[in-house]
Chains A and B, each alone.
Chain A
Amino acid sequence: DAKTTQPNSMESNEEEPVHLPCNHSTISGTDYIHWYRQLPSQGPEYVIHGLTSNVNNRMASLAIAEDRKSSTLILHRATLRDAAVYYCILKYTGNQFYFGTGTSLTVIP
């Protein structure tokens, strides 16, 4: 049901950029792409979302492919506090989020 595919895990060195990929080849024209992250023992936290254009906020950037079948979450400078599971989610019309298994990001000091 999640309709997104992400690598199970990734590693990054501290203070370096991180690119977290997500494939959503069956995306429809009205599906928003959302990213959340979940730190250990906490609830998911909203990171960013977009529809067609690239998006930036204080936490991250979201690069969306022209055909919208993939996207990349960019953390510009990874810190130890960014170690978490990152979920790429398609938001369907209505109030339904389906979380996949996400990418577990390890940040190496």
Chain B
Amino acid sequence: DTAVSQTPKYLVTQMGNDKSIKCEQNLGHDTMYWYKQDSKKFLKIMFSYNNKELIINETVPNRFSPKSPDKAHLNLHINSLELGDSAVYFCASSQGSGDYGYTFGSGTRLTVV
């Protein structure tokens, strides 16, 4: 069983569209995250949720809105997609603050054309 699963794996869409990426973890972790990896392979945290509550919201355009219906799911909705949003988006989870490590999903490659 995949511990942290993201769907879709690939997403190609036009500028201006609205899209969502889904993430689910079956590890029983209470904290989930979204990271963005740009073309230079730099990974940057976007959001962190603990027990469905937002605890980190880095400087991210408000076109990005995370939604956590329960502690096993953290979805990312993106409005009015722009070319610069093209990147690989990783979901991750941890127990508590992650002192014993994060578990990452395999990523969603978003291409905006």
Instruction: Mark A residues whose CB is within 8 Å of B.
Output: 32, 34, 36, 41-46, 49, 85, 87, 91, 94-102
- Asked if B44 contacts A94 (CB within 8 A), the reply is no
Nearest A residue (CB) for B100: A49
| Chain B contact surface mostly | strand
- Asked if A85 contacts B41 (CB within 8 A), the reply is yes
Identify B101's interface contact among A42, A49, A87, A94, CB under 8 A.
A49
Instruction: Mark B residues whose CB is within 8 Å of A.
Output: 4, 31, 33, 35, 40-45, 48, 50, 55-56, 90, 92, 94, 97-107
- Asked if B90 contacts A43 (CB within 8 A), the reply is yes
- Asked if B107 contacts A42 (CB within 8 A), the reply is yes
Neighbouring B residues of A49 by C-beta, 8 Å: 99-101
- The 7 A-B pairs at the shortest CB distance, nearest first, are namely A43-B104, A46-B101, A99-B43, A95-B48, A44-B104, A43-B90, A95-B97
Nearest B residue (CB) for A47: B101
